[in-house]
Chains A and B, each alone.
Chain A
Amino acid sequence: MAVTQARAQVPGLDIRPADPEGDLASLTSLAILAARRWSPCVALSGEDGLFLDLSGTAHLFGGEAKMARHIVRLLARAGFTARIAIADTPGAAWALARYHGHCLCPPGEQARALAGLPTPALRIDEAAVELLKRLGVDRIGQLAALPRAPLTRRFGAATVLRLDQALGRIAEPLDPVTPPESIAVRQRFAEPIASAEAIEHWLGQLTPRLAAALEDEGLGVQALECIADRIDGVPQRIRIGLARPNRDPAHLLRLLKRRIEDVEPGYGIDAITLHVRRAAPLGPEPVVERLDEEAAPDIATLVDTLATRIGQDAMWRMRAVESDMPERSLARAPVLDPPIRSGERPKVDDVRQLDRSATLHPWHPAWPKPARLLRRPERLDHVIAELPDQPPRRFTWRGRPHQVIRADGPERVQGEWWKRDAERLSVRDYFRVEDEDGRRYWLFRAGDGERAVTGDLSWYLHGVFG
């Protein structure tokens, strides 16, 4: 059926393009989840199913029936509709799950359970199913009752193999998925250690091993956790984060060493483990070796070191934001790899294409801006100013009177009505004033001096020029 036809029949139909690769990827991630949670041996079955080998794990979840219910409930919560059949052989389970529904086949009973199911449930090819149908064989029970020698001659070994696999006469090995293992290196001690020097020594032994393990995988660590197992069972943790993936043992050791004082050895430490909590691919990088000058070292190591000391949140860069309100014209950005503004390609018929002038920087270079901005504008007292657009003659800020000698302005800033409803009509008139001592301040008056809705004509000091 064509999509348009389907749309015509069902209004509001949700149509999405098929995504087999995406489906397979999410099925694989589900298999990895199952392998971590329920059974060590999980295999993909086609593009819509999973095999879980429950041998020896069902009792951990309170028996097979309870486990099946548990899995169905958990998958339902994640948004999957699942059907589970449990049988002795993968073939029987496959058939029961797809052609029977939820079902728990008792041990050794698969022949009887499968007898009533149609032949496609055996995972045999369509030509064989068609031929069997013409011979009057619809059910697996009928097929199993046929003499084997003519069956093999007529349909080939594959059909008989599938039948035997389903009934448990031939083993069917599964190809399990292997969940990716997180990298960890561990050092146990014959005698518990308790001194900072000993911990430092062993961290120095562990970091090269960790670096080697990371190099094998082609990874660089982004978050590292060092766990020191204490004798009394209270683990001591050191967590470090790195701004960029790194696997330089000296750098890792330097970061860890700063935090050794956080470890309380108590009666002694049995073992130290370094766990990689987050890693990212780190390939070889080109080295620019210039002869005429020494290359400046990478900033990333400094950022890591400082972040370990003062925290990641205490370091930032500033980037420009397009906004007329001074306090909103800048935003914090991460220290490393500042995101370059994605150059959205304008459409072919975009009107803005006609504008050939260079884009203006949000911080206009010609309008003087203060060196420091107050966290929030501070109200001024005893302001004498002429309306509507003259700078103040005198004002008092923080209890000190200032007499204005020179002034520039007004620079009118309209409220950003498209961002905040409260600023729909508000206006600020900014003035740059200089007092009798040559001190320069950035003042503004709320309101344009003509219409009362734009502001109450109160004066504020917002920033200070040098």
Chain B
Amino acid sequence: MADPAVLKQLRESLKGLETGGFRRRPALPFGIPAIDSRLADEGLRLDALHEVAAGTSDMADDCAATLFLAGIAARAWGPVLWVVRRRDLFAPGLAQSGLDPKRLIYAEAKDDAELLAVMEEGLRHRGLGAVIGEAKRADMTATRRLQLAAEGGRTIALLMKRAAREGSDPIAMPSAAVTRWRVTCAPSTPLPVAGVGRPRWKLALARQKGGEGFETIVEACDATGRCALPPVMADRKAVAGGTAPRRAA
């Protein structure tokens, strides 16, 4: 077995030799300049906790948040641990958002405390690319623990928050998460023929550390987990005209 000190020294010298200054990116960008430029780290920091919640308590919005998480995890590296409370995730649907079933490990927790403990265990292991959990109650202490467990590693911690009570806002609770997102279903891309186009979400960054929140419409994850800006966004007038009556309804 080689001496770790020697190995470390060799790694250092190898880093010095590389001209391009290559190093593993500390953040996971969306690949959309309009979103990345507004994030403090130009992407989702890998060694941090991020929270995602559905805009409403409807199951469709819950699924939009699910696919948003699946897309982020799909773009991360390595195996993914998904800690669930119910066994209703449909693997073919996740695979269509880029999350290969070969990469995904499911774990079922009995309650929120156990779920958070399992997530923390997964984060501390350092061998996973992403850890996703679905919790109803995660207070400041619990999220702080997750954030501390994620620090120093390359495992992105994603917490999907569900409303503890009907009508309560899960994002409003104090939390140590670096970014907090709210995902809501939006009408899909119009097609020239009858049918459902590419799904769209209303993506709202409710809070982020060191930056402002914003709100935008994105097209849902494709087969590689990448979101996109709708092409009609260039034509602002059309969007404004299209969304205003829906908001009223």
Interface residues of chain A, those whose CB is within 8 Å of chain B, are 287, 289, 291-293, 296-299, 301-303, 305-306, 309-310, 314-320, 326, 329-330, 335, 338, 363, 365, 368-375, 405-408, 432-434, 436-441, 463-466
User: Which of B107, B121, B125 is the one whose CB lies under 8 Å from A297?
Assistant: B125
B107→A464 contact, CB < 8 A: no
B5 to chain A minimum Cβ distance, whole angstroms, is 14
B196→A440 contact, CB < 8 A: yes
A466→B90 contact, CB < 8 A: no
Chain A residue contacts of B63, Cβ below 8 A: 370-372, 464-466
B88→A466 contact, CB < 8 A: no
Which of B86-126 touch A at CB < 8 Å? 87-97, 101-102, 104-110, 114, 117-118, 121-122, 125-126
B185→A437 contact, CB < 8 A: yes
Q: How far is the CA of A436 from the CA of B246 in the complex (A)?
A: 8
Chain A residue contacts of B7, Cβ below 8 A: 289, 291
Given contacts A309-B114, A371-B70, contact A317 B106 (CB under 8 A): yes
Chain B residue with the shortest CB-CB distance to A313: B108
Given contacts A310-B114, A439-B58, A466-B60, contact A372 B121 (CB under 8 A): no
Is B29 interfacial (CB 8 A cutoff)? no
B107→A315 contact, CB < 8 A: yes
Interface of B is mostly: mixed
Which of B178-207 touch A at CB < 8 Å? 183, 185-188, 191, 194-197, 199-201
A407→B90 contact, CB < 8 A: no
A438→B185 contact, CB < 8 A: yes
Given contacts A289-B2, A318-B104, A466-B66, contact A296 B127 (CB under 8 A): yes
Write the B142-179 contact mask toward A (1 if CB under 8 angstroms, else 0).
Answer: 00000000000000000000000000000000000000
Q: Identify the 9 closest CB pairs spanning chains A and B, nearest first.
A: A439-B60, A466-B67, A466-B64, A438-B187, A318-B91, A373-B90, A466-B63, A369-B92, A363-B92
A306→B108 contact, CB < 8 A: no
Interface residues of chain B, those whose CB is within 8 Å of chain A, are 1-2, 7, 10-11, 14, 24, 58-68, 70, 78-79, 81, 87-97, 101-102, 104-110, 114, 117-118, 121-122, 125-128, 183, 185-188, 191, 194-197, 199-201, 220, 223, 246, 249
B11→A291 contact, CB < 8 A: yes
A372→B90 contact, CB < 8 A: yes
Chain B residue contacts of A370, Cβ below 8 A: 63, 90, 93
Q: How far is the CA of A463 from the CA of B89 in the complex (A)?
A: 10
Chain A residue contacts of B194, Cβ below 8 A: 406-407
Chain B residue contacts of A299, Cβ below 8 A: 79, 105, 125, 127-128
B89→A372 contact, CB < 8 A: yes
Q: How far is the CA of A363 from the CA of B100 in the complex (A)?
A: 11
A247 to chain B minimum Cβ distance, whole angstroms, is 16
A309→B117 contact, CB < 8 A: yes
17 CB contacts below 8 A, A to B, read A289-B2, A289-B7, A302-B127, A303-B105, A306-B122, A314-B108, A314-B109, A330-B90, A330-B101, A363-B95, A365-B95, A371-B70, A375-B87, A439-B58, A440-B196, A464-B59, A466-B68
Chain A residue with the shortest CB-CB distance to B87: A375
Q: How far is the CA of A315 from the CA of B114 in the complex (A)?
A: 13
